[in-house]
A and B are shown apart, each in its own frame.
Chain A
Amino acid sequence: MQTFLDLLSVLILISAFILTATKRINSYIKAFQLQSFLLFLATFTLGIYNFTTKGFLDIFILSIIIFVLKVIYIPRLLHNTYNRVAYKVEKDFFINIPSSILICAALVILTYYSLYSLDGALNIHIKFNLVNSLSVVLIGLFFMISRKKAIGQIVGFLVLENGMFTTAMLSAQGMPIIVDLGILVDLLTAVMIMGMLVFKINESFDSINIERLRNLRG
């Protein structure tokens, strides 16, 4: 099972890379969906494992919630938001794709360096998952920086959150369920608010390019 979880953590990292390599908003949402699905798989596996060995059901329940929320509901919400604003094909990134991929690779190295010196009781798999999931957090943040449109920011934020969730799941076998639920509810609210904001931005500026927000300074 450990190999399977390791594999999933790598795949989650790759999905973050796929996200940075995509250009279109539709593909952002799909990449996020893929990542969430992988996250669901990881949680599901852990849930089953915990249920069979320790009899706890909470991670299993959490995995179902993740599936409903992150794989189905939020992507659909994003799609709706996206469909409501006017579709315009324009260059959405500040840094071109090869460079941003290489920057992301550098981020992984950086995470690796900062975490590898952590000693103590960490076993190698935990360290491994920690590096991967923290890299996902950083890549999500980098994605938010490098994209111009508001939906990019939302997806980046979601990926960042996925990264944190993965960190909790794969290196600490999950947080108490109440914390997780709190985070998920927060997330849902955040996405909804941001979705509305996008709509508003579009209304006032005729574009969802948040560069335009600069006009708001006096």
Chain B
Amino acid sequence: MNDYFNLILVIYIVAAFFSLIFSKKHQLTNLIANILSATASLSLLILTALHLIVSTSSVELLRITTSVPNISLVLKIDNLSAFFLLCLAILSMSVSIFSIGYMKHYFYRINIGLFNCLYNIFILSMILVITSSNLISFLVCWEIMSLISYALVVYEHDQPENSKAGLIYIIMTHLGTAFLIIAFMLIYVNTGSMEIASAGQLLSPYLKNILFFLFLIGFGVKAGIIPLHVWLPYAHPAALSNISALMSGIMIKTAIYGLIRFILVVLGASTVWWGVVILVLGAISAVLGIAYALIENNYKRLLAYSSIENIGIILIGLGLSFIAFANQQMTIASISLLASLFHLFNHTLFKGALFLGAGAIHYATHTKNLEDLGGLMKRMPYTGLLLLFASLAISALPPFNGFLSEWLTFQSLFQILTASNQGLKILALLIVAALAMAGAMAAACFIKFIGIAFLGLPRSESAQNCREVPIPMLAGIGLLALPCLLFGLFPQIILRLIDRITQEYFAVSISSGLKGISLITNNPLIINESGISLLSATIIGIIFFIVFYTIIRFIGRNTKERIFETWDCGFGGLNSRMQYTATGFSKPLRIVFRFLYRPKRLLWYNKEGPSPYYHSDLNYVVTTEPVFEKYFYHPLAHSLKRWARKSRFYIQTGSVHIYLLYIFLALIALLIYNWVCLTIC
């Protein structure tokens, strides 16, 4: 096991160095590096799946120690990290395959060798983050992951908005890291160990609360919890699509991994209100995230906001699990964690597919604006179909996997509703409403995405003339989109694996609710005495389809189908400008939620028409206010800047003597601190 794992790591490193060495030959390095990386990911997939099926205990994979105490690289794999590695492996395999075709777009425009090198190290760093069993190596890998993802976000640095996106990203992510460093130091000071292990007994409740907030903010920035989400909608559109897929698909989930690992395992989630905080933040992220996604016309930003929503749903499950765990209701805790992790897995699949699909659209049309698309379903039928699958899954519609995880989340909320005190009940019901609203708005959002981009008439030249993308790209998308259906019909496959984790933490197994994966109908997934079986529903649906299709064909056997133009009110010649636009599509919701979006519109006429009522040329600009940036981050940054500008002359006087004095004072202070510590302890 160890050797295989090390081999996988080596393959990634080889792929990275190979692409760096042969960086002049773009085709070759791209092909080889991606094939190597896909192979490594495939092996990782098999390895982690095997680990989850066979082994239950944690296995040490690699140990590199140094002479300096506490600085060592120890990699361990247990059920939780195996599960996250599984998600990573599926995603990175598909992304690598996709990249074989996708990067053609960028040959001789950017440095492919360096890109592939960074790409492989990025995957590697995420593997190391997930498997690190030592605070320092965790932190170092976390930082490497952040820095490399920054480099990848700004890779097309010739575009000014990318640098801005990168700047916001790196500031926010370092803010998070700062909180993590404080938390880790506090843990080390109080436990005297750098191991990531249960330290619940060694810490005082007071300290635990502080640590909880540090972890929440530290990981929350990476996860994109509202209001710490500001970097996400900038960074994802700036990065290339394969990188966005990796970032949204798995990188933001390393933060969820961190939350589970540090709050549940290390701190031992013993307080109810921790869960409540996470739950409420999750609900807010879910609703606001999708609300912002809905009005977005840049489809990559739309997907980025939708990631915030899904992180919200994952956090709802996680929060419920923590609440139940603190209340010693282990069955509820395990179902909630199951829901949370299952949704995480599903989100990896469909958001990966959607971002890759967005890459495919960009590859074919060279635009990121929904308003320039349209009619792609006829020109890119396979991409369209696969993205429709992924959209159905992310809108939580049966029979796709997204529905199942949302259903499980509803069921865990339902259990909290039946078995908790009054206050939590009301909260849980409000969360139910929030989740339902997020679900309906997600459907609206992805109807907009599919409907505007793929249906109707093309709205620009480039959409008119685009063609289907090459097979490796389709394969990459398909490897993520088709499992959405597969795991919707056979959720038992993955739920059994996740059950391992819940068994480990809560000592409760829900596998009695998972009845086999045989093809016989009516083998439902039973939670709370209510069972569903998407498989049987689908089979009955197909039978219905066959029956009714035959009947209808029989009744209408003498009819024929006529292809004719769409009704155009007699104007003659329907054109794409008469269609509903993406802006128009979301307008009703923009009006209803105007307190949230604060839309402003500008309308001005350029040319007089035949009468003052009919202008022949006009401009219409609608803008919405980014509330969090405007009312939280901008004032913060502004006052910080003002304070810095004012105070810099007090500190930075320009006199060398004063600077020497600073050093002197710092030394004296340290000596005094040391003396005080020595005398007290």
A residues with a Cβ closer than 8 A to B are 109, 112-113, 116
Contacts and interface: CB of A to CB of B under 8 A. Distances in A.
Name B's interface SS.
Answer: helix
B422 interface: yes
A109 B426 contact: yes
Interface string B400-426: 000000000000000000000011001
B598 to A, nearest CB: 15
B426 A116 contact: no
Interface string B204-246: 0000000000000000000000000000000000000000000
5 contacts: A109-B426, A112-B422, A112-B426, A113-B423, A116-B422
Contacts of A112: 422, 426
A193 B208 CA distance: 62
A79 B422 CA distance: 44
Name A's interface SS.
Answer: helix
Contacts of A116: 422
Contacts of B423: 113
Contacts of B422: 112, 116
Contacts of A109: 426
Contacts of A113: 423
A113 B426 CA distance: 10
B178 to A, nearest CB: 37
A14 B125 CA distance: 58
A128 to B, nearest CB: 13
A109 B426 CA distance: 8
A112 B425 CA distance: 12
Nearest to A99: B595
Nearest to B423: A113
Nearest to B426: A109
Nearest to A117: B422
A106 to B, nearest CB: 10
A113 B425 CA distance: 12
The 5 closest A-B pairs by CB, nearest first: A109-B426, A116-B422, A113-B423, A112-B426, A112-B422
Contacts of B426: 109, 112
A113 B423 CA distance: 8
Nearest to B595: A99
B594 to A, nearest CB: 10
Nearest to B430: A109
A56 B298 CA distance: 74
A113 B422 CA distance: 9
A102 B482 CA distance: 42
A116 B422 CA distance: 9
Interface string B409-453: 000000000000011001000000000000000000000000000
B434 to A, nearest CB: 13
A112 B426 CA distance: 11
B421 to A, nearest CB: 10
B540 to A, nearest CB: 39
B380 to A, nearest CB: 41
A112 B427 CA distance: 13
Nearest to A96: B595
A112 B422 CA distance: 10
A109 B423 CA distance: 10
A104 B49 CA distance: 52
A189 B681 CA distance: 78
A144 B426 CA distance: 27
A98 to B, nearest CB: 9
Nearest to A109: B426
Nearest to A98: B592
B420 to A, nearest CB: 14
A146 to B, nearest CB: 16
A187 B426 CA distance: 37
A116 B423 CA distance: 10
A113 B424 CA distance: 12
B149 to A, nearest CB: 40
A109 B433 CA distance: 15
Nearest to A116: B422
Nearest to B422: A116
A112 B423 CA distance: 10
B634 to A, nearest CB: 27
Interface in B588-614: none
B226 to A, nearest CB: 20
A88 to B, nearest CB: 27
B364 to A, nearest CB: 42
B557 to A, nearest CB: 52
B563 to A, nearest CB: 45
A100 to B, nearest CB: 13
A186 B422 CA distance: 39
